[in-house]
Homo-oligomer: A and B are copies of this chain.
Amino acid sequence: MATHWLFLGFILLIFGGKTETRLSVKEKLNNEVIPSHRDLAPDFKEEYLKQVLDHFNYNSHGNGTYDQRYLITDQYWKKGNGPIFFYTGNEGDVWEFALNSGFITELAAEQGALVIFAEHRYYGNSLPFGKDSFNIPEVGLLTVEQALADYAVMITELKKELGAQKCPVIVLGGSYGGMLSVYMRIRYPNIVAGALAASAPILSTAGLGDSIDSFSGTNIDVFCLLIQDFEKFNPACKDAVQGAFQKLNTLAQQKDYRRIQSAFSLCKTPSTPKDIHQLNGLLRNAFTMMAMLDYPYSTHFMGSMPAFPVKVACETMLNGTDLMSALRDTIGVVYNSTGQLTCYDLYSLYVECADPTGCGLGFDSYAWDYQACTEIEMCYESNNVTDMFPPMTFTEQQREQYCSKRWGVVPRPGWLKTQFWGDDLATASNIIFSNGDLDPWANGGIRKSLSPSLIAINIPEGAHHLDLRESNPADPESVIVARKEESEIIAQWVKAARKKSS
């Protein structure tokens, strides 16, 4: 869920022009020539819809509106008849999702569908109050319910506008976007015929972590689960990471801040326990990213990643001259993919927030931080027992303190479970829950089918919503099989919906 799509641009902005490359894992990267995102784009038109600011209060902003962005392509659509594939945009610029969900376009070509990628309010260009969107109280209109209402209204409006009233709508999304797809189907089955929710941790984000463990034997914490990816590659890898953190801890206890700076190539000498805490967060975050994005080819989603980043990281850890510099080079996979960084700036590369797995940087990070402070429960912790990181707690109390200070809000644990049914989905239908076994988020989602129409698809060799990505020669067999199954189920839903409405 960590949102880092702005990393690359941000880093280039700060460090552009510096060519010294003390830190470099570049040689480990897949050095293919990478076209820009826009070059890879299908024939998407960028459009805006006037959207009501507040769906749930007629007096707070009257009928005030904002411009919500969406991308649309009808290049494969059987006009007025083919289905609509609607991506329920999540925590970032909608182009990022459109450009990293090629499976949806492939599916559209196959099934004659119209494709729409909708941008979530308060992300990307869809800022309801422009640069003031993250002021208090303006930020208050950022909720899951408002976002879902936006999508319900957008689908209804666009169907009218495009003469698509009879076209069944399938929603699709990855990660938080997958959660939104689930919620759209359960909240608006009058509008949505089915949902493909890829890597959607609907259980863990609703505070249901402890009760539904089926994988790890202990808990479903992200940090606990991602250790397995590294262990699986090579048990020595995990030991090396733990060893490096131990060394850092020893130096920190000795207050040997200069050696820490040197070992980790920090731009400034750390000087307080807070700085060390920040460094630990920065390091841990890199591992979360690599495990999530452990795709079998290089990608440009939430920054740039080499093929098999976990493998790259483990090799780097094991081939270093010493543990700490190995760790430093390893996080370069995430923070220094261009190889152009000369030093790490502790507080600009990673910002601590209400989501211990990271909020990314820039405006989008404010929005996600706010959501993690309100409805979405992200109380993940590392403990150095079930994971390989130093103990970093994040209790409900810490969350409350932080959120109250940062945003003037008090989280309401249990709310998401009440609103969106938690694990009590028996009355729902037509949802695919896909998850990849490599993904540390996987066990926060639904791993077993709940009924013939609530279908879990597990992808042994899949990272975070790999199935939504376009087909690639490096794809493992399991994702090819999963996509085929998804395609068949969706075709059935469309057929049934068409029959119902005719």
Contact = CB atoms under 8 A, between A and B. Distances in A.
B374 A58 contact: yes
A187 interface: yes
B156 A414 contact: yes
A407 interface: yes
Interface stretch (A38-46, A419-427, A460-468): A419-427
Copies in the complex: 2
B500 A59 contact: no
A397 interface: no
Contacts of A59: 136-137, 139-140, 407-409
Nearest to A418: B152
Interface in A106-149: 136-137, 139-141, 143, 145-146, 149
A450 interface: no
The secondary structure that dominates the A interface is loop
Given A56-B145, A426-B500, A409 B62 contact: yes
A190 interface: yes
Contacts of A153: 418
A429 interface: yes
Contacts of A407: 58-59
A187 B189 contact: no
Given A189-B421, A421-B189, A60 B412 contact: no
A426 B373 CA distance: 36
Nearest to A425: B190
Contacts of A63: 410, 412
Interface residues of A, number: 47
Nearest to A427: B189
A56 B146 contact: yes
Contacts of A409: 58-59, 62
A62 B410 contact: yes
Contacts of A373: 58
A98 interface: no
Interface string A213-245: 000000000000000000000000000000000
A58 B410 contact: yes
A334 to B, nearest CB: 32
Interface in A281-330: none
A146 B149 CA distance: 14
Contact of A429 (B412, B415, B422, B427): B427
A408 B188 CA distance: 29
A52 interface: yes
A62 B408 contact: yes
B58 A190 contact: no
A36 interface: no
Most B CB contacts (10 A, CB to CB) among A136, A139, A424, A427 go to: A427
A143 B410 contact: no
Interface in A350-376: 373-374
A472 interface: no
Contact of A156 (B374, B418, B425): B418
B424 A52 contact: no
A261 to B, nearest CB: 40
A57 interface: yes
Contacts of A412: 52, 58, 63
Most B CB contacts (10 A, CB to CB) among A55, A156, A408 go to: A55
B421 A190 contact: yes
Nearest to A429: B427
Interface string A458-479: 0000000000000000000000
B56 A56 contact: yes
Contacts of A190: 417-418, 421-422, 424-425
A300 B102 CA distance: 65
B143 A56 contact: yes
A417 B415 CA distance: 25
Given A62-B409, A149-B419, A190-B418, 5 more contacts: A58-B409, A59-B139, A156-B418, A188-B421, A190-B417
21 contacts: A55-B415, A56-B57, A56-B145, A57-B57, A57-B60, A57-B140, A57-B141, A58-B374, A58-B409, A58-B410, A59-B140, A59-B409, A60-B140, A63-B412, A153-B418, A156-B414, A187-B187, A188-B421, A190-B418, A190-B425, A426-B500
Interface of A: 52, 54-60, 62-63, 136-137, 139-141, 143, 145-146, 149, 152-153, 156, 187-191, 373-374, 407-410, 412, 414-415, 417-419, 421-422, 424-427, 429, 500
